[in-house]
A and B are shown apart, each in its own frame.
Chain A
């Protein structure tokens, strides 16, 4: 292939493509440091007079500092990660390793729910959570995570646990270990890579998940998460201070970007393997 298509030309094209892909993000970064007048007049990526005022003013732009919104988002994501790690692992172990009546039926139903659109259940769920008095709290978003509703991760973990040799279970069984001990001492330690994938994706998806946060946390400023705060920030700035909006938007992406940089390999492998096994 490389003989027919000289690799230098290929690299030039790829670099051009990569720059085009990155340009929006770079522009966002540069705009966040530009004074108000410069954003719409200059295409330069380097601000002529870099300023931090977009960050300092934007941080308090909603009348309430973004500190609280970030803390809300972080707490919400942390709880979601804990929920998914606990509940999905338990279900996955049951499906992958234990024999019980109706296992095949439940497994098929679990697989089907992976494809189920979020909106298919959102109306009655809202009615239920309202009846429970949960609107305005984290519970409508977090409680489903503790009940393994994110079937995708159950499936991911089932696939992973199936690759762990059963001989290890059998050896432990001979030593008198029951299912709980096999789960905690044999399977769980070997499942750590898949647990990490689960944790990272849960964090990123929860961080980005606007619909349910708008629905359940959008009423009072105290419960705003970062995406909801940003959405309200658009109205407040109403086009006048794009710099502040860009600065806050950029900050909202930092955790995702950080996770990506830290766990790049794990993330990419996670996608590849689940993709291949799906």
Chain B
């Protein structure tokens, strides 16, 4: 199998000594068996890094994680088989249940709100607006920066007791506003606000989708006398539903894994009173703080199962609300 022949690509047709090259220009894809085998070998050579990574760093660890979740393991002594004990313990661990509550609250608020803002702004910014590029850039930037430690630190300041928000509120006459980030009632909401602030990337996807909608559809609808509202619900929204589905799944999966903002705003503790104890934060504390690796692995598997289930539910339900143009009207 000689793979790297010193031949110029743009050379003239057939070359001497290479009889297996199909000379028939009309059917260039007809390959001889030897070529086919050669291609298979080449395929695996190209795929090798991915294959090693997939087996060694994804599939292998997932299986290992499932096994670890059935053991007690502290990195120092060998894992000890305890069956389903970790899972049972989780069910009665109040901090774990709190982390589930916090995470579901966060995902349930952050994802829909972010998508609503993204869709609204995309609609306003769509088509022929002067300064569109500048607006789009400004609204997009926070979604690039938002996941950083720096922005989480900034949030801690903005929504702190002496923060910018409270300075404004005091100016407006509210003498004693709550210290948002350290108030258990509001801490999670400051993180939701941060999540909404990052609506830019789904917005850009919606904008691209809006541009794909054929103008003729609107023109035809206007000829039929359809107003703005019925054009939105009759044309725009149905044709955007595939992207709503895409963004929904993507944002949902991402939000379940949120870690940095909660970690930084609460100083790594998930406080005040565990009100920002995200699932991933508790996993981190258990697995890498207390070295309860088996317990952490069990948490990881439940997270994976939960995300997979919700994704499956969304996809199953999508046949009732996602509209694909090819299926006709």
Residues on A lying within 8 angstroms of B by beta carbon are 1-2, 4, 7, 10-11, 13-14, 17-18, 21-22, 24-25, 27-28, 31, 40, 43, 86-88, 90-91, 93-95, 98-101, 103, 106, 109-110, 113, 115-128, 130, 144, 146-149, 154, 170-181, 183, 185-186, 204, 207-208, 210-211, 214-215, 226-227, 230-231, 234-235, 242, 245-246, 249-250, 252-253, 256-257, 260, 264, 267-268, 271-273, 275-276, 278
Contact = CB atoms under 8 A, between A and B. Distances in A.
A147 B52 contact: yes
A253 B150 contact: yes
B47 A115 contact: no
Interface stretch (B93-101, B252-260, B317-325): B252-260
Nearest to B202: A275
A234 B264 contact: yes
B275 interface: no
A253 B145 contact: yes
18 contacts: A1-B127, A7-B130, A90-B50, A91-B50, A98-B39, A100-B39, A117-B257, A120-B62, A124-B64, A124-B68, A149-B54, A149-B58, A170-B29, A178-B42, A179-B43, A181-B9, A210-B260, A227-B150
B49 A146 contact: yes
Nearest to A276: B208
B28 A174 contact: yes
A93 B154 contact: no
B323 to A, nearest CB: 15
Interface residues of B, number: 116
B208 to A, nearest CB: 3
A113 B68 contact: no
The SS class assigned to the B binding surface is helix
B61 A113 contact: no
A275 B9 contact: no
Interface string B74-113: 0100000000000000000000000000000000000000
B194 to A, nearest CB: 9
Given A91-B50, A253-B145, A18 B43 contact: no
Interface string B16-44: 00100110010011000000101111111
B209 A260 contact: no
Which of B42, B124, B207, B304 gathers the greatest number of chain A CB atoms within 10 Å?
B42
The SS class assigned to the A binding surface is helix
A119 B257 contact: yes
Given A40-B167, A100-B41, A234-B264, 13 more contacts: A1-B127, A93-B46, A98-B40, A106-B54, A121-B300, A123-B61, A124-B64, A231-B149, A245-B153, A253-B151, A268-B140, A271-B201, A276-B243
A252 B124 contact: no
A22 B154 CA distance: 13
Interface string B247-268: 1011001001101100110010
Contacts of A119: 257, 280, 283, 300, 303-304
A176 B168 contact: no
Contacts of A130: 75
Given A154-B50, A260-B141, A272-B207, A246 B256 contact: no
